[in-house]
Amino acid sequence: MKLKSALLGAACAFAMAPAAFAERGTDGEVKLTFPQAVSIMNPYLSSGTKDIYASSMVIEPLAGYDDAGTLIPKLVSEIPSFENGGISEDLTTITWKLLPGLMWADGSALTAADVVFTGQYCMDPAGGCAQLSKFDGIASIEAVDDLSVKITFTAPKPNPFNAFVGSTSPILQKAQFEACLGAAAPTCTDQNSMPIGTGPFKVTAFTVNDTVSMEANANYRDPAKPAFASAVIKGGGDAEGSARAVMETGEFDYAWNTQIPPDSQAAMAAAGKGQFVVAFGTLVERLEMNMTDPSADLPEGERSTAKHPHPFLTDINVRTALSMAIDRQILTEVGYGAGGAPTCNVVPAPAMYASDNTACLTQDIEGAKALLESSGWVDSDGDGIREKDGKKLSILYQSTVNPIRQDFQALIKDWWSEIGVETELKAIDPSVFFGGDAGSPDTFQKFYADVEMYANNFDGTDPEAYLTQYKCDKAPSPENQWQGENMNRFCDPAYDAMVSELSGTRDAAKRAELAKKLNDMVTKDSRIVVPLVHRGTLSAHSNALGGVKINAWDTELWNVADWFRVK
């Protein structure tokens, strides 16, 4: 008996040995810098990435995504599934089981009541919650007991992992936010800038749009973490300055969003103080083709609507030729360097949803010319521009004011002029282009141009909602105050039917297959969308910072508790 316990003791001592190295608060301060400063620490009132990332160090959701896009439990003991009974057979309820003994940073216990409250907080109609769409289709959220929460949906929900999953939808402490429901939400300044959380750090000081100071949370569930005793996020400046502070001067340990020109990337990497890391999520820079006529000669209210089909972009051969003329490799090198990769897909990731559609990656100017020639688009009057039935291939190509986009526009204009297509370029201020003001002619929804370029992505790992955007009824028009995401006014009943099929499908493999088909339908089969570059988020970390695992599916700081100082 004695021997056994002695052996056990020895085994324990060995097991404890690595933990002795990793102890809470032994590694000093970790310094992060964001080119955009943090405005608020409550993701429910801001959907700015900077705010969500910063708050993710402090407040946590029930579950999150790891660097491979897999769901991982955070505040719960396991991910609900059919097997463990967490998701009901009819797909209408999901039950989360909280880890026992969890404590808020202030020492009080986290219970199911906090989760229920958070749902109530976001779903309050007067609160202006930025993450409301995460709570779509929820009939009720109730606490079954202190440690279990049951969410009931109004209809079967094939993907129930929206509310309380990922850094955009963390749990707020009921005791702290109780007085901040509804219209009072924005006025709770102290709560919004210093939320009490369960994460590895807690806020000690917050200056709006400047600095967030944090210290290790003494009540964090893993007693050995975080390794850093304090953390600070300094915001402001620009991407170049942030990258420099990590890569060249070594003042900071981590810089988020250091998207800088490829030549600067190389020069900074050569300084040898740090390295760039890229997270490839689902962001794709693309050209969207307008299927309706944007001509200024049409009366207001009929421009770019289904009433008038586009004079030449409705011809698939024209769209295909425009896509073939583009060299995506050059675009990537010029614009993004390590932070991008050429792509032909609208859904470029996660791997299980990405179609093996790569045909567009090689530029084929001659092929494009031949295709236009054979489909009757010829330059009969010798002005270098092809025409057919009196319609000239003359394109108005719009995008936002952004140096990389203007480079892309110039390059693409050149390639298109080589195949006999005339292009006029237009650059619009991003706050107008994306502003959605129904009174402005320059929004991307109104699309008073033939081709427009921007980047879009989807939240989480499931592309269903994203693919739904190309359904007929999602087209912006005067009838719906120009709201909607189907900028192309693409309308294919077969596509709509397949989207409905997707939303009724539970089997993961079958879902992936359908998603790939839908992706192909808008890209290689129809060239309605011409993807150009799969864009990653380029971040930089110093060589003295260990444990960084870049993550495109959730906050980049998802494993900040595991970060340590390389000695």
Partner 1 sequence: MLTFTLRRLLLAIPTLLFISLIIFLLVDLAPGSPMSEIPLTVPPEVRQKMIEALGADQPVFVRYILWLRQFFWVEPATLMDGWFGSHLAGDEQRILSWQSRSPVFTVIGQRIPQTLTVIGTAYLVGIMIAMPIGIYSAYRQYSAFDQLGTLVAMIGFSVPTFFTGTLFIIIFAVWLGWFPTKYDTTLEVTDWASFILQLKQMAMPVMVLGLANAAAISRYMRSSMLENMGQDYVRTARAKGMTERVVVLKHVLRNSLIPVVTVIALGIPSIFGGAIITENLFGVNGIGAALIGAIHANDLPMVQTLAFIFAVLIVLFNLIADVLYGLLDPRIRYE
Binding site for partner 1 (CB under 8 A): 33, 37, 39-40, 45-49, 125-130, 132-133, 183, 185-187, 189, 192-193, 205, 207-211, 213, 232, 234, 236-238, 241, 244-245, 248-249, 251-252, 271, 429-437, 440, 442, 456-459, 483-485
Q: What is the CA radius of gyration of the chain?
A: 26
Tell me the closest approach of the beta carbon of residue 39 to partner 1, in angstroms.
4
Nearest CB to partner 1, comparing residues 24 and 234: 234
Vertex 287: Cα angle to 281 and 288 (nearest 5): 105
Say which DSSP state 213 is in.
Answer: E
Per-residue burial over 172-185, b = 16 or more CB atoms within 10 Å of its CB, e = otherwise? bbbebbeebeeeeb
Tell me the closest approach of the beta carbon of residue 85 to partner 1, in angstroms.
31
Report d(CA 139, CA 54) in Å as an integer.
31
Report d(CA 120, CA 194) in Å as an integer.
20
Nearest CB to partner 1, comparing residues 408 and 458: 458
Bridge partners (DSSP) of residue 248 are none
Output the six-digit token pair for 512.
């992936």
Say which DSSP state 99 is in.
Answer: P
Tell me the closest approach of the beta carbon of residue 76 to partner 1, in angstroms.
24
Tell me the closest approach of the beta carbon of residue 309 to partner 1, in angstroms.
25
Residue 178 backbone dihedrals phi, psi, to 5 degrees: -55, -40
Nearest CB to partner 1, comparing residues 78 and 210: 210
Tell me the closest approach of the beta carbon of residue 432 to partner 1, in angstroms.
4
Helix (H) or strand (E) holding 96: strand 93-97
Nearest CB to partner 1, comparing residues 459 and 556: 459
Nearest CB to partner 1, comparing residues 200 and 476: 476
Q: Are the beta carbons of 130 and 52 closer than 8 angstroms? A: no
User: Residue 322's CB: how many other CB atoms inside 10 A?
Assistant: 27
Report d(CA 43, CA 45) in Å as an integer.
5
Nearest CB to partner 1, comparing residues 442 and 513: 442
Nearest CB to partner 1, comparing residues 6 and 208: 208
Output the six-digit token pair for 82.
């059919």
Tell me the closest approach of the beta carbon of residue 207 to partner 1, in angstroms.
5
DSSP 3-state assignment of 87?
strand
Going by their DSSP bridges, the two strands 394-400 and 422-428 should be labelled as parallel
Tell me the closest approach of the beta carbon of residue 469 to partner 1, in angstroms.
10
Nearest CB to partner 1, comparing residues 131 and 423: 131
Tell me the closest approach of the beta carbon of residue 428 to partner 1, in angstroms.
9
Report d(CA 566, CA 544) in Å as an integer.
5
Amino acid making up residue 482 = W
Tell me the closest approach of the beta carbon of residue 471 to partner 1, in angstroms.
14
Nearest CB to partner 1, comparing residues 316 and 455: 455
